[in-house]
Structure 1
């Protein structure tokens, strides 16, 4: 499937997540307007109304059916959930039957304790605040530069380089939108249902050039059997206008592979001086799992933890070429971590 179509599908998924779980109740379904109302003389529904009706219809689909249709839309084929073969199909299994450990380790606040115990507190991005409520007093106490995040999903990141250029009201509105989004409804990753949404603030990491550091997404296979087999998706300029994603093996050989919406750089980034430290950190955090993606930052020869991801792309992550989906599926056992 073309990358731009995948990105469009993800946008639709994100839009569908902003609802309360009660929206799927049978009582509300019965009260919804019928699609054929305009045939009886009413005006034709607007595009906005049609989209709302489509989102309501999605909310009543069983998880298995929803994921099958989403996989078809993003990957271009229906998944074989009974006998999964590809990486994405096996990730879909995890969505539907998550390991109980995923709840704590996917929560971006709760996981900090786990990382500190295994890797050390020095590898945690300094936490500024994790308030029960985001108030003006909290805003006033924040430093001039920081990052606002939510703990219960992906893409909930707001970088503030200069607090004087934003307002409490703007960040409050953003935080309320995040907190009202049930990430489970976005792509039916069931472990997200049990994470209590919270807002928190971290120190803004910058390298010596004043840039946000690259994101090392280290896919680790077979961690509990020793040093895992690792593939690195390096995302550069993630919050800028020249974003690229380059895939490397553990020896920093540039691979002719694209993952998700990221295109390769014209010139691959050079091998980082602290690559071994990055791989060592990923190995430590992956040792309890058959597969996990360990996200790290490595500015100026330091290594900081980002997150642990057990269901990358929610099982609808396009690979280019497509055969990589099957090759990675062979690396990930059908019953891994279940």
Structure 2
């Protein structure tokens, strides 16, 4: 596509977007992944990403969408195989038990309430079920989760070929409060930041800390007490993320015991804004450093070897 036509496409699609929700850009309408990535970034950030020389964290995620085809990522974004990999590395006591997994949800399961139903092939597709009526609602919702590959609409390549299915786990929170979510950003095998998500039921918000637990965002927020298992979380985040120039590894702490959550390679799809905005460049600088020091793809073990 010529630069002139590409510019016209940006304006036409951007002006037509519903700015109240993230648009899904169909591939038949916009067959260029680069164009789709640039448009969704423009919609969220009000500027086009620098894909030739990305410096912001959010820009580097767009670069990963377009260029990073490391097949090992598929092992870790699949919630079923990620738990198995984490159990081998950390031990079974770090793993939230699996009640059930499969690709066709039963109509009337005998699982103990409450539990959480998740799509095993994507993110942000989950439902807490406190009783049978909740489950029936969740079951209807879940049918839509499996309609198409999760990674297709936002060009998150690692998700595209994961078998579509579901996983059920015991619910670790309660109606009033979900567990605090500790999301550890690891660059080149070194943990640098911990994003702490609190009050996820009533007033969901997050605060960023460095690895020494110094608060570096949202200074009007009251400080969050560090989890007692922070050092162990950081150590295991570095272990599981070590093959990659960047990965985010999520944990919970339940009754003083750390529990593995998930691994993601596209946090917020690079479309969430940072507060303050300068954090985008700061976090991006850590990723850029890791990219400059990592071995090339030919020098790292294969996906099959990593999965052994």
Normalised-by-shorter TM-score class = 0.7 to 0.9
**2:181–2:252: 8 Å Cα contact kept in structure 1?**
yes
Give the C-alpha shift of residue 275 in structure 1: 1.9
TM value normalised by structure 2: 0.81
1:217 is aligned to 183
List alignment gaps of at least 5 residues for structure 1: 1-7, 18-22, 26-56, 258-263
Larger Rg: 1
- Could you tell me which of 228, 241, 249 is aligned with 1:286? 241
TM value normalised by structure 1: 0.74
Give the C-alpha shift of residue 179 in structure 1: 0.9
- Could you tell me which of 63, 68, 72 is aligned with 2:42? 72
Residues 265/302 of structure 1: CA separation in 2 closer, same or farther (3 Å cut) = farther
Please give the root-mean-square deviation of Cα atoms over the aligned residues, in Å: 2.4
Residue-by-residue CA offset, 1:296-333 (whole Å, 9 max, x unaligned): 11122111111111111222231222222222222113
Q: Which has the higher helix share?
A: 1
**1:103–1:195: 8 Å Cα contact kept in structure 2?**
yes
Query: Following superposition of structure 1 onto structure 2, how do residues 1-338 of structure 1 map, counting pairs within 5 Å?
Result: 11-13=21-23, 16=24, 24=27, 57=29, 60-98=30-68, 99-136=70-107, 139-160=108-129, 162-168=130-136, 170-206=137-173, 211-223=177-189, 228-238=190-200, 240-257=201-218, 266-333=221-288, 334=291
Distance 1:144 1:214 in 2: 21
**1:244–1:265: 8 Å Cα contact kept in structure 2?**
no
Residues 319/9 of structure 1: CA separation in 2 closer, same or farther (3 Å cut) = farther
**2:114–2:131: 8 Å Cα contact kept in structure 1?**
yes
Distance 1:127 1:230 in 2: 30
SS at match of 1:109: helix
SS at match of 1:268: coil
List alignment gaps of at least 5 residues for structure 2: 1-17, 298-308
Give the C-alpha shift of residue 181 in structure 1: 4.2
Distance 1:166 1:88 in 2: 36
Give the C-alpha shift of residue 271 in structure 1: 2.3
